């Protein structure tokens, strides 16, 4: 990770670079910053900079043998500790090292939610276990292989169980030689006070709107207008901006898919229905469930537009144009049945129903419901 790959945060970067140049590297540092600010990326870039054999004034060289190993997170003197979901086979961070490297290298602005998604453990508790502190000691007792320092990056130390936290405190009180601890934390009020007081604080702020906007334009090719809107909603978190971008992309795909289904089922065009089913079946189950939720959302907004105030309708521009034409088909006589069919489909999908049959059934039902007569207005 190079400093220049990190969005904004110029003041912190300069402070970290100075500490290396002036050889004032504190043995325990607390990188404290909100989610999506880039605090983990900064800690990794800092570690790489310390270890780089040919560092420049503002960044690592990116090419020396140390940097090449850092680029893959496989430097033997770089160690990570992070929360995991404990199980029979998973006791310490190293048990999930392969997944950790993949996740970080894909997105250095990883959140706990992304990480647990990767581990397929969304509903499990995230912990750093007491076994981990033994492992930290074991790793630190190894001789340094190649670099001047052994560097231990602890991501989300607030997830340490109390025994692990107390052992870490002991280690920080009597630090082994030539070892650096970089604690990357989002909520320091959940850390032992005594640990906080043993570390030097590196405070990381939210990313500034201007820095985030230019990143969204340059890295994601958003229009200046959309970049600005996204940055305001993301509130200084690049992780949040990424999730908004992917929601937008999903919404655009969902709208197209919804339009196809409605057109195909209104007059029941068997060929168009089959093509639609093949397209939807090719997506993963999560995407399919997401589509059903989206369909519910469009149905509800259509009903509101029919009976309520247009200003209450929450839709993007393309959606608004579609819903203006579509909403007359959604009324008191069929909305309950639409909602119930979509909920039923969602229920069966969670129980691994055959997707093709399920969507065929849905198209038949929609054909019936779309053609129900509208209630006569008083």
Applying CB under 5 A, which residues contact Zn ion?
A: 52, 54, 60-61, 64, 67
Shortest distance in whole angstroms from residue 66 CB to Zn ion: 5
By C-alpha distance, which of 130, 67, 126 is closest to 96? Answer: 126
**CA torsion, points 171, 176, 180, 182, in degrees to nearest 10?**
-10
Residue 259 Cα distances to 14, 74, 93, 268, 347, angstroms: 51, 48, 46, 14, 23
Shortest distance in whole angstroms from residue 203 CB to Zn ion: 27
Shortest distance in whole angstroms from residue 3 CB to Zn ion: 12
* Cβ nearer to Zn ion, comparing 75 with 365: 75
Question: Do strands 179-185 and 28-32 pair parallel, antiparallel, or not at all (unpaired)?
Answer: parallel
* Cβ nearer to Zn ion, comparing 35 with 51: 51
Shortest distance in whole angstroms from residue 56 CB to Zn ion: 9
Cβ neighbours of residue 48 closer than 8 Å, sequence gap 6 or more: 1, 2, 60, 66, 67, 70
Residue 246 Cα distances to 107, 239, 241, 321, 354, angstroms: 14, 11, 9, 22, 27
Distance CA 235, CA 356 (A): 41
Shortest distance in whole angstroms from residue 58 CB to Zn ion: 13
Shortest distance in whole angstroms from residue 163 CB to Zn ion: 38
* Cβ nearer to Zn ion, comparing 63 with 125: 63
Looking at the DSSP bridge assignments, the partners of residue 79 are: 152
Residue 4 is classified by DSSP as G
Cβ neighbours of residue 187 closer than 8 Å, sequence gap 6 or more: 158
Map residue 203 onto helix, strand or coil: strand
Map residue 191 onto helix, strand or coil: coil
Shortest distance in whole angstroms from residue 45 CB to Zn ion: 12
* Cβ nearer to Zn ion, comparing 60 with 179: 60
Phi/psi for 28 (5° steps) reads -140, 120
Shortest distance in whole angstroms from residue 48 CB to Zn ion: 7
Handedness of CA 149, 150, 155, 161 (dihedral sign): negative
Residue 110 is classified by DSSP as -
CB 213 within 8 A of CB 228: yes
């Amino acid at each position: 990770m190079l400093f220049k790959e990190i969005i904004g945060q110029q003041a912190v970067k300069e402070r970290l670079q100075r500490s290396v140049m002036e050889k004032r590297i504190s043995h325990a540092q607390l990188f404290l910053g909100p989610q999506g600010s880039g605090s983990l990326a900064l800690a990794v870039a800092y570690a790489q900079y310390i270890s780089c054999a040919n560092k420049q004034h503002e960044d690592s060289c990116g090419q020396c043998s140390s940097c090449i190993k850092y680029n893959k997170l496989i430097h033997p003197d770089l160690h990570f500790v992070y929360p995991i979901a404990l199980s029979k086979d998973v006791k310490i961070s190293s048990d999930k090292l392969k997944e950790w490297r993949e996740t970080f290298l894909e997105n250095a602005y990883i959140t706990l939610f992304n990480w647990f998604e990767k581990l397929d453990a969304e509903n499990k508790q995230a912990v750093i276990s007491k076994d981990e502190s033994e492992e930290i000691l074991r790793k630190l007792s190894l001789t340094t292989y190649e670099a001047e320092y052994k560097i231990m990056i602890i991501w989300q130390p607030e997830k340490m169980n109390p025994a692990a936290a107390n052992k870490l405190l002991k280690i920080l009180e009597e630090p082994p030689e030539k070892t650096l601890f970089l604690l990357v934390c989002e909520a320091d009020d959940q850390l032992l006070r005594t640990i906080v007081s043993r570390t030097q604080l590196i405070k990381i702020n939210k990313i500034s709107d201007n820095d985030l906007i230019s990143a969204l334009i340059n890295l994601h090719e958003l229009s200046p207008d959309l970049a600005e809107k996204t940055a305001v909603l993301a509130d200084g978190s690049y992780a949040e901006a990424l999730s908004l971008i992917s929601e937008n992309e999903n919404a655009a795909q969902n709208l197209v898919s919804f339009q196809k289904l409605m057109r195909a089922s209104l007059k029941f065009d068997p060929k168009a229905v089959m093509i639609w089913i093949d397209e939807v079946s090719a997506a993963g189950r999560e995407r399919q469930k997401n589509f059903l939720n989206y369909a519910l959302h469009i149905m509800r907004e259509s009903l509101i537009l029919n009976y309520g105030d247009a200003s209450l309708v929450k839709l993007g521009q393309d959606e608004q144009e579609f819903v203006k034409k579509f909403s007359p088909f959604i009324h008191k006589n069929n909305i309950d049945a639409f909602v119930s069919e979509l909920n039923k489909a969602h229920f069966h999908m969670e129980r691994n129903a055959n997707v093709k049959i399920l969507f065929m059934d849905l198209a038949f039902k929609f054909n019936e419901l779309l053609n129900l007569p509208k209630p006569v207005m008083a």
